Amino acid sequence: MQLIAYFSNLDQKTKISLFGLWLVTISGILGIWLGDSDWFLSKTPFNLLLCLFLTLWNFPLKNGWKSILLWSLIYLLGMGVELVGVHTGLLFGKYHYGNNLGPKIAGVPLLIGVNWMILTFITGSICRRFIAQKWLVILCSALLMVTLDFFIEVNAPLFDFWYWDIGYPPLRNFIDWFIIAVIMQTILHNELYTKKHPFPLHHFASQLLFFAFFYVIYTF
C-alpha cells in the first residue's frame, strides 16, 4: 500500500519515466536469466539511449549552450579516455570491446561516452540531493560510479561488453575510474539539480540491481 501511495503522488512524467526504467530493467533481468540473453543484450544501445532520453526529459538543460558544451565535454572526455585505454593500456589496463554496446569508432563504442554522461549526472544528482558541500558531493558521486563499475566489470565479458587481456579488471581500472569520475563530476557539478526528484535514485538502483543480480548468479 505504501508503494502504491508513493507512486500515486508522483507527476505523470515521473510515473512514465520510472515505469519505463523498471520495465526495461526487470525485463532484461528475467530475459537474460531465463535464457534469451542474446536478444536482450543486443538491445543494450537502445537501453542507453532510452536512459539518456529519460534523463534529459526529467532534467532539461539548465543553461542553454553552456549546458550543451559541458555535456558534450563529458561525452568527448569519456570517449577520449576509452580510446587511450583501448589503444595504449595507459588508462584502466589492457582491454577491448565486444559487440553489444553498438557501433564503434576506432574500437570504442560511440555510446560509451553516453554512459559516462548518464552516470556522471545521475550519481552527482543523488549526492547533491543529500549533501551541500561541493567537494563532498564530487567525492561521493565518484565513489558511487566506481561502486557500480565494480559490479559491471564482472558481467562485462559475459555480456560481450568488453574483455580484459588478463581475464579480470586490474586494481588500476578502479583507481583510474575514480580519478576520471572526480574530473567529470567537477565539470558537471553546476549542471546538477538540487530538487528531490526520484529519477536519479531509481536509475542508479535499477542499474545496481541489474548488475549485482548477475554478479551473484555468476559468482556464487
**Non-local CB neighbours of 210 within 8 Å, separated by 6+ positions:** 25, 28, 29
Q: Dihedral (C-alpha) 99, 166, 86, 101: value to the nearest 10 degrees? A: 20
Query: What burial class does residue 86 get, using C-beta atoms within 10 Å of its C-beta: 0-12 exposed, 13-18 middle, 19+ buried?
Result: buried
Q: What's the confidence (pLDDT) of residue 169?
A: 96
* Per-residue pLDDT reduced to its tens digit, 110-123: 999 999 999 999 99
Q: Dihedral (C-alpha) 149, 152, 153, 154: value to the nearest 10 degrees? A: 140
Lookup result for grid cell 563504442: 109
**Range of 19's domain?**
2-219
The proportion of the chain whose per-residue pLDDT surpasses 90, expressed as a percent, equals 87
**Non-local CB neighbours of 172 within 8 Å, separated by 6+ positions:** 92, 93
Cβ neighbour number for residue 193 with a 10 Å cutoff: 17
pLDDT band, residue 3 (cuts 50/70/90)? low
Distance between CA atoms of 205 and 55, rounded to whole angstroms? Answer: 14
Sequence-ordered strand ranges (E) for 15-90: none
* Per-residue pLDDT reduced to its tens digit, 170-200: 999 999 999 999 999 999 999 988 778 999 9
pTM of the entire predicted model: 0.94
**Non-local CB neighbours of 84 within 8 Å, separated by 6+ positions:** 90, 91
pLDDT higher than threshold 80 for residue 7: no
Distance between CA atoms of 126 and 183, rounded to whole angstroms? Answer: 17
Asked if 184 and 77 count as a contact pair (C-beta separation under 8 A), the reply is yes
Distance between CA atoms of 133 and 131, rounded to whole angstroms? Answer: 6
Backbone angles phi, psi at 104, to 5 degrees: -120, 160
* Per-residue pLDDT reduced to its tens digit, 41-77: 999 999 999 999 999 999 999 888 999 999 999 999 9
Which conformational region is residue 52 in: left (phi greater than 0), alpha (psi within -120 to 50 degrees), or beta? alpha
At residue 204's C-alpha, the angle toward residues 198 and 210, to 5°, is 130
Number of domains in the chain: 1
